[in-house]
Amino acid sequence: MQNYLDRIINDSPFQHLEDYWDKFKPVAFAIFDDKNVFLFNHPKCKEEPYTKLVKTDEFLACTCILFEGIPTAIVDTSLYDSFEDIYSLLVHESFHVFQYLFEEGRFPNEILGFSYPIDFNNIQLRILERQKLFEAYKATDLIEKCLKINEFITFREKRMELFLEYVEYENLIETIEGPAFYVEYQALKDVSLSKENLINKYIEQLLDNNSSQTNIRSSCYNSGLFICLLLDEISDDWKLDFTKSNLDLYHFFREIYSDYNPIELIISDNSEEVFEIMNIAQKKKLRAFNHFNNTEGIKLTISGAIKIVGFDPMNVTQLDMTALHHNFVSISIINNEFFIDIPVFTTFENNFRDVQSVELFLNEPPINIGNQFIIKGIGEFEGTIISKNPTSIHIAV
């Protein structure tokens, strides 16, 4: 950790942010491990370069949070092995703070990501679309580049015709995360000793058909990045215009790129691969639920009027009218909020957030005093026991 602190303080890499994106300036940020938090550019630091804090539950994963009212980018250093990775992730999350400060409003309905259909036609077209996007980026001949861009756009337009709601979800994920991936890539180039092959990991992610179709949300980070890289070739000053725009990234690109002509779609026979991906995607969901059901411990079921007030969109698996929150979820029971940082299974009817029941596994049973239940590490609520045995308990609230 000390090496990371020294490089942040002495090398001052965050002074280069405006080279990555117009008007992108340093914001409050923190790096942390399982014990300590090191906070920079925050009022809490006063006149010091940083301040050291004891880690709390506020610092979880790599994201941006409101820490004492100040939007703050945070990165868990235990997840990465190098300063280059940590710095590029800090730039990525700092960009989300930048978006917040610019009052970015082009956010997707995250629930569409969980209910995204495993559909043959969409997967087939999406594989070919992403290949055309890569070929457009790679092309050096202007005529070929225009052809490949036209092919990419035609595939995207066809998917919007068939699956509008879900492709608009992709468009908005690209809008938020594509530029963040773009500045992350610029930061990585800035501090890495070897710069030649840095783009390769992003190319691999873009063209990994299995991962791209089974991890829809994160796959849009890469397509958004490559749309940004194409915009670099088309326009010198697109970034500030995009920041101020109301268009999503794809439609902004369509507006900037004036040479679009629809082409006849040539759909290669990739049906065998598509069916394999569909099978893998379904099995992946079933495997996640089976793994949860085989968790050791005491199974606690809470049923009643429960509302989800916070969740991690990157780590939710939905199957029919059930959802598995792999990392954490915040729920509200009778106007009291509870943060649960272990896997949680929920059931619902119409609205993903309005759940009928939650299930989780505990190391020890709740403490029960009258109609009060206390769950270690989670909190206290009122309820009634519906059923109870040594391995499970069901409480109605």
**pLDDT (0 to 100) of residue 12:** 81
Confidence class for position 3, pLDDT limits 50, 70, 90 = confident
In degrees and rounded to multiples of 5, residue 218 shows phi and psi of -70, -25
- pTM listed for this prediction: 0.89
pLDDT in tens, 348-357: 998 899 999 9
Q: Please report how the helices 164-191 and 249-256 are oriented relative to each other, as an axis angle in degrees rounded to 10.
A: 80
Pairing of β 298-311 and β 392-396: parallel
Q: What is the pLDDT of residue 212?
A: 94
- Is the pLDDT at 195 greater than 80, yes or no? no
pLDDT score recorded for residue 269: 84
Q: Would the pLDDT of 336 be above 80?
A: yes
Q: Is the pLDDT reported for residue 114 higher than 90?
A: no
What's residue 223's pLDDT?
98
CA–CA distance from 218 to each of 75, 164, 227, 315 (Å)?
18, 19, 15, 10
DSSP per position, 75-118: EEGGG-SSHHHHHHHHHHHHHHHHHHHTT------THHHHS---
Contact 26, 14 (CB under 8 A): yes
Phi and psi at 362, nearest 5°, equal -115, 155
Q: Report yes or no: 233 and 296 within 8 Å, Cβ to Cβ.
A: no
Q: Which residues touch 105 (CB under 8 Å, ≥6 apart)?
A: none
Q: 39 near 30, Cβ under 8 Å?
A: yes
Look up residue 196 and give its two tokens: 């030649």
pLDDT class for 100, splitting at 50, 70, 90?
very high
Q: Where are the domains of the chain?
A: 2-101, 111-256, 295-396
Residue-level pLDDT at 1: 80
Q: What average pLDDT does range 288-315 have in this prediction?
A: 94
* Predicted pLDDT of residue 284: 93
**6-10, 36-40, 70-74: lowest mean pLDDT where?**
6-10
Positive or negative CA dihedral for 178, 182, 187, 193? positive
Q: How far apart are CA 131 and CA 152, in angstroms?
A: 8
Q: Are the beta carbons of 292 and 324 closer than 8 angstroms?
A: yes
Both structure tokens of 223: 């397509």
Neighbours of 125 (CB within 10 A): 21
Distance between first and last Cα of the chain: 45
Write the DSSP symbol of residue 353.
T
Q: How far apart are CA 4 and CA 75, in angstroms?
A: 12
Asked whether the predicted pLDDT for residue 246 surpasses 90, the reply is yes
